[in-house]
Amino acid sequence: MTLRTYTRLVALVGRPNVGKSSLFNRIIRERKSLVHNEPGVTRDRIFGRAEHNGEAFYICDTGGFEPTSRDNIKIQLVEQAEMAIEEAETVIFVVDGREGIHPVDSDLIRRLRKSEKNFIVCVNKCDLPKDDIFIEEFRKLGVQRIFPVSAEHNRGMSDLLDAATEIFANSPKEKRDDPENPPIKLSIIGRPNVGKSSILNRLVGEVRSIVDERPGTTRDTVDAGLKYHGRDLRVIDTAGIRRKSRMADKLERFSAFRSVACLEDADVSILVINAEDGATDGDARVAGYAFELRKPILIVVNKWDLIKDKTSNTVNEFTEKLHLDLRYLRYAPVIFVSALENLRVSKLIPMCIDLYDQSSRRNSTSQVNNILKEVLLKHTPPMVKNKSKRIKFFYATQVGTLPPRFIIFCSHPQDLHFSYKRFVENAFREAFGYKDIPISIIFRERTRSPIDDKGERVKTTKAARFQKDRNYDDDIRSMEFEDMKALDGAEIEFFDDESEE
């Protein structure tokens, strides 16, 4: 397992609240880094891809540089900034034009000269042409290339990026990710202070995310690229999610919102639980978000080293209690780790890849219908309540992956009891090898062609029988033409049209 390194990298450094994150978002043209009036919002290195005049490059946002602070988080911020300077080919030193030169600015200039890196000075918050006079004060730093910029108003950005990317003119072009084989996205989710950032750091083999005993240390979503046995992965550390009434401020609420948005975009979710606390109401709430999105979930019980007097039955007893508290996730695999002692952390990536492979598996229509026939022979469909009729199943097909989605066409789906739906779902999960992931099965009433004046069915195209109506949900609306062809039931119907009730 190797960590992806960034080439053609530009780093943004500077003291707190000078507008580095605003500048970062402006350059990559998306709101990836949190922006707030409060100093010290950004704490981790945030990477993004950008383009300027045909030159593709990566840019890194860093936390505020405060070398004199003795706070543990701020000490780590300085270390993160120094790592960004070391990895970058060009450094953009961001200063606040309204406040002038600060002692920290002079200290940082000395560090940049010592590093012998190519750097330029960006005087931010020059919102109007008359504010360009701010750059004259910064000439005292002995730097020739100084650019007045307003990240908020997109002013002066072209000249700044011209200077920042000129070093890449003769370097090899950056290779883009293959759109047909995108990296597998793994999101690490959970309550605050359960060890998510420590797990990320162990997986990538370096301090990518700041770790502290205080809850709520991570605010942005921190991602890192990995390559495991030829497969590309993207591991994303998210901010802790807790009950809205317990969130301290708007910043924490927005961080939690970003975490949920990251979960929606992920292929596999890693739910981290504190072994000392077990599955709490907060864990159940976070797990519920992933369950509602039908995401494959790997439950990671962290801080297992803190459990004393363990016996041979401790793991089984804890797992049984976990399944009782999170009974809707009984299918999800559970692993016990310790990020502090690096215990079994290396097993997380292979397990996540296995969940991804299960979730992306597609089965042919004939396979699906053969299994459905076996299910119906094993357990006869129930009678329709108050109608003395038995529910008839016609055919089924798989219409999607990640997660696997099936549609079963039957008569009177609204009268089908939830227990029989659960029986069919469990049978499908066992038959197709979806033992560790959720699947989605929709029971739909078959749409039939209209009858003409002669009493014969009107022949239509294969897609016509699935015309959209108000009852169709997103699974039907997202069906592609290949899926439409797979839904043709002429050869696999269990009942003829004439026998349908």
State mean pLDDT over 138-164. 93
C-alpha–C-alpha distance, residues 199 and 324, integer Å? 26
Answer yes or no: is pLDDT of 85 > 60.
Answer: yes
Structure tokens that stand for 244 in this block: 């809205």
The pLDDT value recorded for residue 487 is 41
Structure tokens that stand for 470 in this block: 């108000």
Answer yes or no: is pLDDT of 473 > 50.
Answer: no
Nearest to 108 by CA among 491, 96, 272, 438: 96
- Three-state DSSP at 290 gives helix
Nearest to 270 by CA among 360, 339, 169, 368: 339
The pLDDT value recorded for residue 456 is 67
The average confidence (pLDDT) of the chain is: 85
Answer yes or no: is pLDDT of 382 > 90.
Answer: no
Q: Would you say 216 and 248 are in contact if contact means Cβ atoms under 8 Å apart?
A: yes
- 147 sits in which H/E element: strand 146-148
- Spatial strand order of the sheet with 146-148 comes to 46-52, 55-61, 9-13, 90-96, 118-124, 146-148
Q: Is the dihedral of CA 328, 333, 337, 339 positive or negative?
A: negative
pLDDT tens digits for 91-119? 999 999 999 999 999 999 999 999 989 99
Answer yes or no: is pLDDT of 436 > 60.
Answer: yes
Answer yes or no: is pLDDT of 377 > 60.
Answer: yes
Could you tell me whether strands 334-336 and 383-384 are parallel, antiparallel, or unpaired per DSSP bridges? unpaired
Place of tokens 């000075």: 121
Could you give the C-alpha distances from 359 to 163, 170, 270, 446, 473, in angstroms and in order? 46, 43, 15, 27, 21
Q: Would you say 147 and 156 are in contact if contact means Cβ atoms under 8 Å apart?
A: yes
Q: Would you say 271 and 289 are in contact if contact means Cβ atoms under 8 Å apart?
A: no
- Three-state DSSP at 329 gives helix
pTM for the whole structure: 0.83
- Spatial strand order of the sheet with 393-400 comes to 393-400, 405-410, 440-445
Angle between the N-to-C axes of helices 20-28 and 157-165, in degrees from 0 to 180, rounded to the nearest 10: 80
Structure tokens that stand for 110 in this block: 């000395």
Structure tokens that stand for 260 in this block: 């949920």
Share of the chain above pLDDT 70, in %: 87
Nearest to 488 by CA among 361, 365, 364, 363: 365
Rg (CA), the chain: 28
The pLDDT value recorded for residue 431 is 93
Identify the DSSP state of 32. -
- Return the percent helix, strand and coil in the chain, to nearest 5: 35, 20, 45
Residues, the chain: 501
Place of tokens 């950004």: 42
Could you tell me whether strands 2-3 and 222-228 are parallel, antiparallel, or unpaired per DSSP bridges? antiparallel
C-alpha–C-alpha distance, residues 435 and 330, integer Å? 10
The pLDDT value recorded for residue 255 is 87
Q: Would you say 20 and 42 are in contact if contact means Cβ atoms under 8 Å apart?
A: yes
C-alpha–C-alpha distance, residues 266 and 402, integer Å? 10
The pLDDT value recorded for residue 492 is 34
Q: Would you say 462 and 487 are in contact if contact means Cβ atoms under 8 Å apart?
A: yes
Q: Which of the four pLDDT bands, split at 50, 70 and 90, describes residue 486?
A: very low
Nearest to 24 by CA among 40, 48, 54: 48
The pLDDT value recorded for residue 138 is 92
The pLDDT value recorded for residue 1 is 62
Amino acid at the residue 71 = D
Q: Would you say 428 and 371 are in contact if contact means Cβ atoms under 8 Å apart?
A: yes
Share of the chain above pLDDT 90, in %: 58
Answer yes or no: is pLDDT of 488 > 50.
Answer: no
The pLDDT value recorded for residue 22 is 94
The pLDDT value recorded for residue 485 is 42
- 86 sits in which H/E element: helix 72-87
CA end-to-end distance (rounded Å), the chain: 58
The alpha carbon of 295 is separated from its chain's Cα centroid by a whole number of angstroms, namely 11
pLDDT tens digits for 331-352? 999 999 999 999 999 999 999 9
pLDDT tens digits for 228-266? 998 999 999 999 888 777 777 777 888 888 899 999 999
